[in-house]
């Protein structure tokens, strides 16, 4: 028998298995919608809502029972039971597996700013993730070392800010210390991103885009110097932080609008880590803002910055995620905290009844 049985709604999952077996094992099975007899049955059980599944292998057939993502994860366990390589006929141990995910959010991050990865490399990363039943790809798309996402309204972000290692080699940008094999410049077009999102969706991976602010913004400032923190002292040094001016907020909102239009994910990651807030004490715009709001500490400007962006994201029906530094100066009300400096920030945020990703 050479049939994979499936219902019509979950045919893409069956085709995934069919393609995998053909590509890696030269085993060619046919996908059929609810046939009477099959070698592999993918059986939908909509009461299983968490991605849990039941895998039953006997001498007659393989049966995987679950909802859509449960079927997919059951397939991964089946693939793990196959020999690593080798021609047909394939032998699999008869067994029963009952499995469910311990965590709802099973994330892996990919920093494409310090080192650009091609669409095919990102797809390979998603493949590896899905084999291990991970389900959130945190895509770090912007940082000091490069801007990687096409934004129609601001073409210099890809014309200039995506080529930071090129400008470094020309001596027009500071020496970069954390690049591997020259850094690799590049960016994703909107079609590239749509292609990655479609690929991820077929593997039950949600993609979390990250647009870093107000720190880690040197690439954007290099492309559009008016974004950078003005220094009233006239000192010449690296401008590493966004100026909290209306024109900056306008820029961020325009960028995030295009990001939101691309990404169906309910969450948007806005970074918020390692902001050198003392730089704001020299900025006329920041000093005026502190005076207007009655702030005594530049960390409060960080909190103002994050809250203003949060309000905008909420107006677009999106939820905000930031690194644990967004706890400084007061936490935005609906924010989820992603804790990277150990667990302390996550515990603090959880005690404040905020969702946390460790």
Catalytic residue status for 274? yes
Q: Of 143, 144, 145, 212, which residue is the catalytic one?
A: 143
Q: Is 97 exposed, middle or buried (0-12, 13-18, 19+ CB in 10 A)?
A: middle
Q: Please list, in sequence order, all residues whose beta carbon lies within 8 angstroms of the beta carbon of residue 305, skipping any fewer than 6 positions away.
A: 213, 214, 242, 244
Tabulate helix, strand, coil % of the chain (nearest 5): 40, 20, 40
- In the set 7, 99, 192, 274, the catalytic residue is 274
Catalytic residue among 138, 140, 216, 269: 216
Locate all alpha helices (DSSP H) within the chain, ordered by sequence.
11-25, 68-81, 119-131, 156-159, 164-169, 190-202, 218-223, 246-262, 284-293, 298-315, 344-351
Q: How far apart are CA 71 and CA 83, in angstroms?
A: 21
CA distance 63 to 54: 8
Handedness of CA 113, 118, 124, 127 (dihedral sign): positive
Q: Is 108 exposed, middle or buried (0-12, 13-18, 19+ CB in 10 A)?
A: middle
Active site residues: 143, 216, 274
């Amino acid at each position: 028998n050479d049939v994979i049985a499936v219902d019509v709604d979950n045919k893409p999952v069956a085709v995934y298995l069919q393609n995998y077996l053909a590509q890696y094992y030269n085993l060619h099975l046919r996908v059929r919608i609810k046939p009477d007899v099959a070698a592999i049955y993918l059986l939908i059980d909509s009461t299983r809502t968490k991605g849990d599944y039941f895998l039953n292998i006997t001498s007659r057939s393989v049966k995987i029972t679950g909802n859509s993502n449960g079927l997919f994860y059951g397939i991964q366990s089946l693939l793990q039971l196959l020999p690593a390589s080798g021609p047909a006929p394939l032998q699999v141990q008869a067994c029963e597996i009952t499995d469910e995910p311990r965590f709802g959010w099973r994330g892996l991050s990919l920093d494409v700013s310090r080192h650009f990865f091609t669409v095919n490399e990102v797809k390979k990363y998603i493949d590896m993730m899905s084999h291990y039943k991970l389900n959130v790809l945190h895509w770090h798309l912007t940082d000091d070392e490069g801007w990687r996402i096409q934004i129609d309204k601001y073409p210099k972000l890809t014309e200039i800010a995506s080529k930071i290692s090129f400008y470094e080699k020309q001596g027009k940008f500071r020496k970069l210390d954390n690049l591997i094999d020259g850094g690799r410049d590049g960016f994703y077009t909107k079609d590239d991103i749509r292609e990655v999102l479609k690929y991820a969706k077929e593997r039950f991976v949600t993609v979390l885009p990250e647009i870093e602010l107000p720190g880690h913004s040197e690439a954007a400032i290099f492309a559009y110097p008016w974004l950078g923190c003005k220094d009233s002292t006239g000192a010449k040094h690296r401008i590493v932080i966004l100026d909290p001016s209306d024109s900056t907020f306008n820029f961020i909102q325009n960028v995030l609008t295009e990001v939101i239009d691309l990404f169906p994910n309910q969450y948007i990651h806005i970074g918020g880590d390692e902001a050198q807030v003392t730089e704001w004490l020299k900025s006329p715009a920041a000093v005026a803002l502190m005076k207007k709001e009655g702030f005594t500490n530049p960390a409060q400007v960080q909190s103002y910055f994050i809250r203003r962006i949060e309000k905008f994201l909420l107006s677009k029906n999106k939820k905000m995620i930031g690194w644990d530094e967004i706890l400084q100066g007061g936490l935005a009300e609906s924010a989820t905290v992603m804790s990277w400096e150990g667990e302390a920030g996550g515990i603090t945020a959880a005690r404040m009844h905020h969702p946390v990703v460790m």
